[in-house]
Structure 1
Amino acid sequence: MPRRMTYRQIADDIAARIATGEYPPESKIPSYSELSQLYSVSIATVQRALLVLHAKGVVYGEPGRGVYVKRHDDS
């Protein structure tokens, strides 16, 4: 059985999905429960991964609505 991914690996994977356009700017990231199923980890691990991306300015949260990909201007 493969080792579970760490929150840092999950953050890197989500960032890669954003970079490839799988999650385009202003799109909603899957919910915590969807991501926990996708990566076979706890919701707490998903929360930590998204906190890393939030700190890097990759995503932003809207209370009661979800987490979205930040739009990055080229300027």
Structure 2
Amino acid sequence: MPRRPVYEQVIDDVTASIRSGALRPGDKLPSIVELCAQYGASATPIRYALRILDERGWIETHQGKGSFVAATPPA
């Protein structure tokens, strides 16, 4: 079975953590450097995953501050 792309794993893990309540609205996500280490990936797929999560309304990204769970993430 082929491995799924890292960005899909990040998206799935973050959305699952938000749905389960492990990550709550306003919580800060790990930094890009921390996520790179966690997933053994370069920054490119991590940034891509965060951009998709932001576009879908799961997180809010603030330049220089980081990424946070959206105040009202999708149901």
Tell me what 1:49 maps to: 49
Separation of aligned partners in 1, 2:44 and 2:59: 17
The answer for unaligned runs of 5 or more in structure 1 is: none
Percent of paired sites with the same residue: 34
Aligned residue pairs: how many?
72
Confirm or deny that 1:65 pairs with 2:65.
yes
**Can you list the C-alpha shifts for 1:3-53, whole angstroms capped at 9, x where unaligned?**
474312211111111111221110100000001111111111100111110
- Partner of 1:67, secondary structure, is strand
User: RMSD in angstroms over aligned alpha carbons?
Assistant: 1.9
**Can you list the C-alpha shifts for 1:43-75, whole angstroms capped at 9, x where unaligned?**
1110011111011011011121111000118xx
The answer for unaligned runs of 5 or more in structure 2 is: none
* Poorly superposed stretches of 4+, deviation over 6 Å: none
